[in-house]
Amino acid sequence: RIVGKRLPSFSEEESHLVKDSSDFLGVIHYRTTYIAHSSSSLHEDYLSDMSGLIIPYGNSSLVKFDVLPWGLEGELEYIK
């Protein structure tokens, strides 16, 4: 309930219809990063919603992304 009114509300019936269901899962992997706990934030965004702080791994340039196949592999293993 951290995000409050920024997410839509579902009725009991709608919740029952979508629970444990999925039609498609798309994965886009740009870079590998570490996430650390961050207990406070001045902004309302997805990182503050999950209390996260991004810690770049490798080259932190916005123009070039390091190719780290083990990062995508770990992501796929996590969602499997």
State pTM to two decimals: 0.47
pLDDT over 80 at 50, yes or no: no
Q: Return the amino acid letter for 27.
A: V
Going by DSSP bridges, is the β-strand pair 52-56/33-37 parallel, antiparallel, or unpaired?
A: antiparallel
Domain that holds residue 9: 4-79
Tens of pLDDT, residues 7-42: 888 899 999 999 988 888 898 887 788 888 877 666
Domain count, the chain: 1
